[in-house]
Amino acid sequence: MIDEVFIKDVVEELDLEVISGKEYLDRQVTRSVLSRPGVEIYSDYFSFYERDRIQIIGSKEYNIFLMLSDDEKQERIMNLFAGNPPAFVFTKHVSVLPEEFLNASEKYKIPILKTKQTTTPFMNNLSNFLSEALAERKSVHGVMMDVYGVGVLIIGKSSVGKSESALELVNRGHTLISDDRVIVSQKEVGIIIASSPSLTKRLMEVRGLGIVDVVDLFGVKAFRRKTRIQFVVELIEWNKEHTYSRLGIEEETHKIFDTIIPKVTIPVQPGRNISTLIEVATMNWRLKSFGRNVALDFAEKLEKIVKGDKTK
């Protein structure tokens, strides 16, 4: 599904000042890419004008506009606004907004906004926000945690112990993102963002206890609104007839949209401290990402012993 994003969402997220067109903030944004119409203002060349994008007016565009004659200014403004872009945003170093823009805002019913940021960082922040907000997303069954700074998605069948393990992790100082249902979106291939549905934000359902608010119980550090999924832990019921990996050489993966994420499978049985195992699995994955693979090192040493080579 695709969330609808409106100019009012952009204003709230990036703390923008509405200069003109406050009544037009319900205009929809459909593109995450932005436009700086310097070429259009300078040369009156609109063949490649990105009309469906938010238009950014920085100091360069502003000074180019000031160089034009009065007639040229009116012509450029008409062409800019007639394209019906979602909004115009003036950045920090534009101190005085041209009257031509303000008049066109009322005529074409397009809002004009102002940011306290300079052009480049503002465009980065706005583009990041729109990329996440407009990304394809879906809901998955699981628990999302931040464990040692790593975004860990815990999956598994109902009643396998996901929420109980997550609650223990929160008690140990780790951070909850979402319990039971996790909203996932692909910002770009390789980057999956997880967040909590607004209805269940900060909440966990624990069988026997009911619904608890982790912020009320453990403080504000117990909850984060969103994070990137870097590692997946699948909890499965222990099956004595199944042979489980002893060394952990085999690499498991989990696919979300077009992104492949490393995964580990942990069998659950009485007596196993699953929260501790999740912590260790997360730290071990982080070591692997730094190039240290203990299982492979052990296998190589074992192979040398079998071959009769001397080892340290």
HEC assignment per residue over 35-63 = ECCHHHHHHCCCCCCCCCCCEEECHHHHH
The pTM score is: 0.71
The domain boundary residue, chosen from 79, 99, 134? 134
- Predicted confidence at residue 3, as pLDDT, reads 59
**Structural domain includes residue 311:** no
- pLDDT (tens digit per residue) in 158-204: 889 999 999 999 999 999 999 999 999 998 889 999 999 989 999 99
User: Do both 114 and 143 map to the same domain?
Assistant: no
Last residue of a domain, one of 89, 117, 134: 134
Q: How many domains does the chain fold into?
A: 2
- Is residue 88, in this structure, part of any structural domain at all? yes
Average pLDDT estimate for 236-247? 76
Residues 130 and 143 in one domain: no
State mean pLDDT over 56-80.
95
Residues 182 and 90 in one domain: no
* Same domain for 197 and 54: no
Same domain membership, residue 213 and residue 85: no
| Same-domain check for residues 152 and 291 | yes
The answer to whether position 55 is within a domain reads yes
Give yes or no: residues 127 and 64 share one domain.
Answer: yes
The confidence score (pLDDT) of residue 1 equals 43
- Asked if residue 147 belongs to a domain, the reply is yes
Q: Are residues 45 and 145 in the same domain?
A: no
Q: Are 117 and 194 part of one and the same domain?
A: no
Percent of the chain at pLDDT > 70 equals 95
| pLDDT-above-90 percentage for the chain | 77
**What is the model's pLDDT at position 309?**
61
Judge if 251 and 174 occupy the same domain.
yes
Average pLDDT over residues 49-62: 96
CA distances from 51 to 40, 80, 181, 194 (A): 11, 8, 37, 31
Report the CATH number at residue 258: 3.40.50.300
80 with 165, same domain: the answer is no
Give domain status of residue 307, yes or no. Answer: no
* Residue 279 belongs to a domain: yes
| Strand pairing class (191-195; 5-6) | unpaired
Which domain range does residue 227 map to?
139-301
pLDDT at residue 182 in the model: 96
User: Partners of 259 in the beta sheet?
Assistant: 256
Query: What does the mean pLDDT of the chain come to?
Result: 91
Query: Mean pLDDT over residues 26-38, rounded?
Result: 95
| pLDDT score recorded for residue 288 | 87
Q: Examine the domain organization and report whether 148 and 123 are in the same domain.
A: no
| pLDDT score for 217 | 95
The Cα–Cα gap between 293 and 277 comes to 17
Provide the token pair at 38.
């310097």
Instruction: Please give the positions annotated as active site.
Output: 162, 180, 246
Residue 312 lies in a domain: no
Q: Model confidence at 136, in pLDDT bands (50, 70, 90)?
A: confident
Tens-place pLDDT, residues 169-182: 999 999 999 999 99
With respect to residue 273, please indicate whether it lies within any of the assigned structural domains. yes
Task: Please enumerate in sequence order all residues whose Cβ is within 8 A of that of 33, keeping only pairs 6 or more positions apart, or say none.
Answer: 50, 53, 127
Write down which residue in 119, 134, 149 finishes a domain.
134
